[in-house]
Amino acid sequence: MELSEAYRITRNRSVSICKPLHTEDYVVQPIADVSPPKWHLGHTTWFFETMILKPYMKGYKEFNADYNYVFNSYYETAGARVIRTDRGNLSRPTVEEIYQYRDYVDKNMLEFLSSEKGIPKDVVTIGLNHEQQHQELLITDIKYILGHNPLFPKYGGMFSKAIDQNNTNAWTKMEKGLYEIGYKGNGFCFDNELNAHAVYLQGFEICNRLVTNGEYLEFIEDDGYSNFNYWHAEAWDWIKTQKITAPLYWHQIEYNWHEYTLSGLHPLDKESPVNHVSYYEAFAYAQWKGLRLPTEFEWEAASKEFDWGRRWEWTESAYLPYPGFSRAAGALGEYNGKFMVSQKVLRGASEATSPGHSRNTYRNFFYPNQRWQFTGIRLAK
């Protein structure tokens, strides 16, 4: 596919994700982790303007110089920026102005991509994948915004289908030995998937399916959230301080459990894979079962032996660089490497993951307490 067509498809998908929203939905920031949808639309546009049009397109005129301060996320190289917790205070620029910004940048990007001169194809490709990552964040952030509205409004039919899986509990046995880990193709991957390298693993077994809501409910009913023996020390402090007693979006109404989904509030589907749990909760559940979470290397080595892609799956691995990893120069070098501390790796994908991002080498990463992403649990032993 030509870059111009890939660009057009990617940019249109972001707009489609936001189509069911009303203007008021675009501006809400309930917590620091959740950015307003209009900020996502502005930031991904800023990325193309800042990383491609301004340095590479001759004669390009910046849309609005103030937008660099408003829509920069964490790029120190690109200058000062609004702090993350203040993104919800941005009544201006308006939603209408942000769409005008997108139209302006899109027009210039398509003109530039059709010129076939001086196009930094690698940077454009990163920009497309960057926007696709933000499309997933858009969906998770929209769910948080609507899911914390007391009316539990429906988002729409998109990303709200029932998630089926094989509920026959079976285990895949993997022999000890050397396994090749990391991306080994000729297509696009993020720098944190490189370099491919051999890892020695002891023999292990991994479950062929994800933990279900019904199984996790047994943990709750067995006072799993009240027994400190299952929890890390900081996790125990977290559930006590935050008064956590169930996964995110679970609500007990007249003694019956319900779950908020993008299609609204529904009785808990006990067969569906548990969703929106933190690493803390995933670890505690595994402890309660007398089992454990897989490492990211075990997960990748065994990934061809089971179905995956319904939930981002917590692993026991810290987010660290692979052997030979090096950060690129300039702003793009801030993309992954600067976050390789204090976070856990998740593997797989979810119903909200953008097309093309479901690779068994893809390394997602979040802090242990975060659970607004579509996260689940696979067990190992």
Query: The CATH number of the domain where 301 resides is what?
Result: 3.90.1580.10
Mean pLDDT for each consecutive 10-residue tract of the chain (381 residues)?
94 97 96 96 97 96 94 73 77 96 98 91 96 97 97 79 69 98 94 97 98 98 98 98 98 97 96 98 98 98 97 98 86 74 97 93 98 98 98
Helix 37-48 / helix 95-113 crossing angle, nearest 10 deg: 30
53 near 60, Cβ under 8 Å?
Answer: yes
Give the Cα separation of 380 and 296 in Å (integer): 11
- Confirm whether 161 is domain-assigned: no
Distances (CA, A) of 328 to 80, 138, 212, 246, 335: 21, 27, 41, 41, 9
Other Cβ atoms closer than 10 A to 374: 24
Q: What is the pLDDT of residue 252?
A: 97
pLDDT of residue 103: 98
Do 229 and 129 belong together in one domain? no
C-alpha 132 chain-centroid distance: 10
Say if 38 falls within a structural domain: yes
Whole-angstrom CA distances from 267 to 92, 114, 141, 258 are 39, 51, 22, 4
Give yes or no: residues 118 and 195 share one domain.
no
Do 184 and 68 fall into the same domain? no
User: Within a domain: residue 127?
Assistant: yes
110 shares its domain with 222: no
Distances 112 to 3, 48, 55, 64, 123 between C-alpha atoms, Å: 11, 11, 12, 19, 13
Domain presence at residue 255: yes
Identify whether residues 177 and 321 lie together within a single domain. yes
Host domain of residue 12: 3-147
Q: What is the pTM of this model?
A: 0.94
Q: Identify residue 57 by its one-letter amino acid code.
A: M
pLDDT at 89: 83
Query: Do both 313 and 214 map to the same domain?
Result: yes
Is 100 found in the same domain as 32?
yes
> Would you state the pLDDT for residue 159?
59
pLDDT of residue 355: 84
Give yes or no: residues 194 and 324 share one domain.
yes
Flag whether 197 is in a domain.
yes
Residue 164 is assigned to a structural domain of this protein: no
Q: What angle do CA 231, 233, 226 make, to 5 degrees?
A: 45
Task: Note whether 129 and 181 are same-domain residues.
Answer: no
User: Domain total for the chain?
Assistant: 2
Does residue 118 sit in the same domain as residue 246?
no
Q: In what order do the strands lie in the sheet with 256-261?
A: 250-253, 256-261, 264-267
